[in-house]
Chain A
Amino acid sequence: MWQLRTDEQASAEAAVEQTLPPCQVRCPIKESIQRSNVMISLLPNEPEKAREGVIQIGDFLYDRNPLFTVCGYICGICERDCNYKTKGGSIKRRLLKQFLSDNYTPYLKEKKPLDVPKDKGPVAILGGGPAGLLCAWELSKKGYDVTIFDSNPKLGGAVRYIPKYRLPEDVLDTAVDNIVRLGGIKVEKELKVNGGDPIAKLKEKGFKAFFIATGTPYPRALTLGIKAVDWQGLENVMYGLTLLDEIGKGNIPSDYFKGKRVIVIGGGNVAFDAARTAVRLGGQVTLVCLETWDKSSKDGIPADPEEIEGAHQEGIRIVYSRGTRSVIGEGGKFTKIDCPKCTSVFDEKGFNPKFDVSDCIQIEGDVLLVTIGQTWDRSVLQNAGLFDEKGRLAVNALTLQSLKNKDVFIGGDVRRIGFMVDAMAEGRQAADSIDRYLRGVSLGRWLVQYQGSEAPLRDMFKPEPAPKWTPPDKRMNFDPFEIGFTLEEATKEARRCLECGPCISCKACVATDIQPELPTVKVDEALCSGCGICVAACNYRTAHLREQPILFEGREVGVERISYTDPLLCKACGHCVSACPSGARELIPDISAAEKHDIAEGPGIVCFACKFGWGYTSNNGHFKNVKNMIPVVCTGKVDATNIVEAFRKGSDGVLLLGCAEGDCHFQDGNQEAKKRIYLLHKVLEAFGIEKERLEMVTGIDPSGERIQGLINGFTDRLKGLGPIKK
């Protein structure tokens, strides 16, 4: 007889699929990248008002990611999957967030603490790195009494190893201190359990659940393949991580490596941190790594391209495809390493380097920094009995609950080494699981499959902004060398964002009051002829033709083609609506329908203004010398009929204000409008209306201060033409 298991472990996860922009799919914490990019692009152009806007955007991001001010300096994972990557360079999301960070960090100290009664828990969090902090923040929001245990002088975990020239200390300090302050989180330096099973002891003290996020504080030992390479106590050999830790704590003088030849072993970002730190301490640095220079190959160097570029600029020599067979010294001091050629790093088994020992070189130096990875501290996990019989950490990868002790949750680097933001995602997941666990509800979660949306169709792409770094000779210190965006640069870069993702996961236009709600496109199937013009007009591959049976008295008598729009991916730009020759498509609601309908009879000017480009930061919709001011979501939504109707009602002229070339929120609505105008000019002239009476101006004017001048200029030109001939 067999028995079906019915427990949590054996139950299947409900799977759902969600489409997001690829940057957000890549981001482990699924930050609202598109939404905040759009918000940045719509910031006012006056610095004081913009600062208020930044704080509002910051407050929005902070709720889900209280470390965003730190991410802005060190994390740009999302940029790797940006749809713009191959078209002119990824959107510089990291720098955009850094721009927010620089304006938000000073404000953080004034932010009001969470107003939540702490009546749940208590919960203990072991480790105050990104995973622990996120978990503590999320639990605090839910009303849990949280204590972080961390023996380091400051919280931050591995982020503290990041050199200050990449991450200013006050940014990190402010971020961490304020999570603790705002969340009302307690911090303890020591567990004070005096050995034994720390979890059991903490449980005796009343803690109900535990999150272990102790990270990987130990450097990984040097090996050649799987063979350990020992340096037998030679002087001047140390772990790069130790150097970074000590310098972070302020224990290293600024001329520490002056006149020394420093060799760094390792090809990851931490190795480059060690190498670039050593250069700043006066060393002459050579970096030796197993991997090849070609990042596109399977054995490519893992460090970020910016790190490699920066290292080159700073005079660091990089020796690719070399392992380290032995560390050689004289008189107890390090002198050189013996480096065989590395012929392959990864194979089907994963990391499994192969060497050609017949091809060996020796690299001489005074100091050796070993920076080939980190490893965990097993002791707490061992003492708490969290390993299975094979010595592996027994944990549910989805819920992060220990399989050995249901009160314990494990996440961050200690479970699986990743980026800072991977650890943050696990911290947040752990908080969710702990909350469910303590409330006694199922931990089963939706297994969400994220799908990245495709890049929309457009002709015009803008190149990425050139990085602004202080020159190498001016950056031999620990001040940040990267110069962040100004307000103007930030809004310009944010405008480059293609906003690939679905509107429902963004809604920035609603949040910024461009439109009161997200419209949808409705197709009247009784009018649609399946001509397919909407398909050509749609930049989001959302309008399609499908074949559907024609029914006559319940019988299928044929097949007809009919258009439909995928409501999930539709951006409701209305390009298809104005292109539809049958009037079968409609935007519901259409923010300008009423104004278009109410165009007054008689002479005067009618002005259609794109709300994404003109006057979006000002409430002033009142202008002189204009008969009707009609705000539209896109000039591509202005149908030739709307313009013709304005002339029919006796208007003297029609002025369209569209976004600058390449800046259209809907890719090319301004071009769509221009194409209509080219044809309309000829049609109007045929009907005896001078083409000068229909004009389009493209540009960006957040406060709308140029609008009155443009209207006045247009009015003057029209006066020269006189009234429309009857």
Chain B
Amino acid sequence: MADKPKLAICWFGGCGGCDEAIVDINEDILKVTAAFDLVLWPVALDFKYHHIEAMKDNEILVSIINGSVRNSEHEEIAHLLRRKSQMILAFGACACFGGTPGLANLRSKEDIFQWVYRDSPTVVNPNGNVPQPVTKKNGNDLTLPEFYTQVHPLNHVIDVDYYLPGCPPPPDRIRSMGRKLISGDMPPKGSTLAPSTALCDVCERNKTKPERMEIKEFKRIHEVEADPEKCFLAQGILCAGPATRRGCGESCIKINIPCRGCFGPVEGVAGMGGSKYLSAIASLISAETEEGRKKIAGELDDPAGYFYRFTTAASLLQKRREPLKKA
């Protein structure tokens, strides 16, 4: 056992889907356990953080981290794993760019707490209890991790070596990542383990595009019966394909759902993905008059949500980051 390289898998502010995705590689998980000594995987194995703390620095070959950094525990463990690992791999959209939880950054912490612990119609909380980092109980301090004012992608907190985006990353990509880790044939540090071009490059529907696309009306996928073969944008349905890195296996497109952008922006436009996508969509809006163009643009509900669905926390417009404890 001891001669096998060590592997840690950890979840932060995520939904568990990324861990599920790892399990979804089915019996290939055995190849992983054959090649690596799993030292941490909270969702599946009963190792504790103090086991990690007891290790020497850089003892772990690679830590695969999913989920965003939302609270002080996430940050603390991120730093711990960084110290003990030779490589850190941000796994899934949340770790890579903040993911959909990053949309919470469009609201303040107070707003969120108010909704989640008081105003939401499903909440019954007559005493108005709200989680606190420290609670005095019988002379003891009970602690909870501190809920930060905003969501962070992993690379806001620690140095990240590799990224595998997706919500969640698809099994094929995970297998490919595993093969690379086992063989040691890793690309340059900072690489995303997916092709560099946008989804349109491999989308079957790309060839159905008219020579000149125009959007005269924005349609939402649940409001129309989308043509299962035609380019979504050509149908006026927002599809993030042109602005999203390929490599997902086009699983959404195949079930007639437009791309939502979970693989993040293409190579070289990280952080700018949303605004590049916005510029692209704006250029497709077509009407003869200024009023007409304004009207079409106005019909698009929640453009921030569309353009920054997975990348709000990593976007340029992200408000100045709150100072992190150990950063």
Show the binding face of A for B, using Cβ within 8 Å: 459, 526-533, 535-537, 545, 560-561, 575, 578-583, 639-641, 643-645, 647-648, 661, 671-672, 674-676, 678-680, 682-684, 686-689, 726
Contacts and interface: CB of A to CB of B under 8 A. Distances in A.
Contacts of B304: 682-683, 686-687
A533 B206 contact: no
A457 B268 CA distance: 31
Contact of A676 (B197, B241, B282): B282
Contacts of B317: 644, 647-648, 683-684, 687, 689
The list of the 6 closest CB pairs from A to B, nearest first, reads A686-B304, A529-B198, A678-B297, A581-B243, A531-B242, A531-B200
B282 A533 contact: no
Nearest to A725: B319
B200 A529 contact: yes
B187 interface: no
B68 to A, nearest CB: 18
Contacts of A726: 319-320
Contacts, number: 167
Interface stretch (B91-99, B116-124, B132-140, B283-291): B283-291
Given A582-B197, A641-B272, A675 B266 contact: no
Interface residues of B, number: 55
A526 B212 CA distance: 22
Interface string B70-92: 00000000000000000000000
Interface string B196-216: 111111000011010111100
A535 B286 CA distance: 14
B316 interface: yes
A675 B292 CA distance: 11
Given A537-B283, A640-B275, A683-B307, A560 B201 contact: yes
B319 A529 contact: no
Contacts of B305: 686
B282 A640 contact: yes
A678 B299 CA distance: 11
20 contacts: A530-B201, A531-B206, A532-B206, A532-B209, A536-B212, A536-B213, A580-B276, A639-B276, A641-B316, A671-B290, A676-B278, A676-B279, A678-B294, A678-B298, A679-B278, A680-B278, A682-B304, A683-B307, A683-B317, A687-B319
A398 to B, nearest CB: 39
Given A526-B197, A676-B278, A683 B303 contact: yes
A723 to B, nearest CB: 12
A52 B56 CA distance: 79
A72 B318 CA distance: 59
A530 B200 contact: yes
Nearest to B234: A532
A580 B302 CA distance: 22
A581 B198 contact: yes
Contacts of A536: 212-214, 283-284
A661 B290 contact: yes
B233 to A, nearest CB: 8
A530 B206 contact: yes
A643 B279 CA distance: 11
Contact of B300 (A643, A671, A679): A679
Nearest to B280: A581
A683 to B, nearest CB: 5
Contacts of B298: 678
A583 B269 contact: yes
A684 B319 CA distance: 11
A583 B266 contact: yes
A680 B320 CA distance: 19
Contacts of B297: 675, 678-679
Given A644-B317, A671-B293, A529 B199 contact: yes
Interface of B: 106, 196-201, 206-207, 209, 211-214, 241-243, 246, 266-269, 272, 274-285, 288-290, 293-294, 297-298, 300, 302-305, 307-308, 315-320
Given A529-B197, A579-B279, A674-B293, A687 B106 contact: yes
Contacts of B316: 641, 644-645, 647-648
Given A683-B304, A683-B307, A582 B279 contact: no
Contacts of B308: 683
A686 B312 CA distance: 11
Give the residue among B278, B285, B315 with the most A Cβ atoms within 10 A.
B278
Given A528-B201, A536-B213, A683-B317, 9 more contacts: A529-B200, A532-B213, A535-B211, A561-B207, A641-B275, A644-B317, A647-B317, A683-B274, A687-B304
A203 to B, nearest CB: 63
B283 to A, nearest CB: 4
A535 B206 CA distance: 13
Given A531-B206, A536-B284, A688 B198 contact: no
A706 B267 CA distance: 41
B238 to A, nearest CB: 11
B109 to A, nearest CB: 13
A640 B294 contact: no
Given A640-B278, A641-B272, A726-B320, A686 B293 contact: no
B276 A583 contact: yes
A582 B201 CA distance: 11
A527 B201 CA distance: 9
B197 to A, nearest CB: 5
Contact of B212 (A535, A578, A674, A689): A535
Given A530-B201, A580-B276, A679 B303 contact: yes
B187 to A, nearest CB: 15
Given A527-B196, A533-B284, A582-B266, A688 B201 contact: no
A682 B242 contact: no
A537 B283 CA distance: 6
B290 A674 contact: yes
Given A531-B206, A531-B241, A686-B106, A639 B279 contact: yes
A644 to B, nearest CB: 5
B284 A679 contact: no
B198 A582 contact: yes
Contacts of A581: 198, 242-243, 266, 269, 276-277, 279-280
A251 to B, nearest CB: 59
A650 to B, nearest CB: 8
A578 B290 contact: no
Contacts of B302: 682, 686
A342 to B, nearest CB: 46
Nearest to A670: B290
Contacts of B268: 527, 582-583
Contact of A527 (B197, B279, B281, B284): B197
Given A526-B196, A678-B293, A582 B269 contact: yes
A459 B279 contact: no
A643 B197 CA distance: 24
B198 A531 contact: yes
Nearest to B281: A679
Given A678-B293, A683-B303, A529 B242 contact: yes
A581 B319 CA distance: 23
B201 A529 contact: yes
Contacts of A526: 196-197
Contacts of A648: 316-318
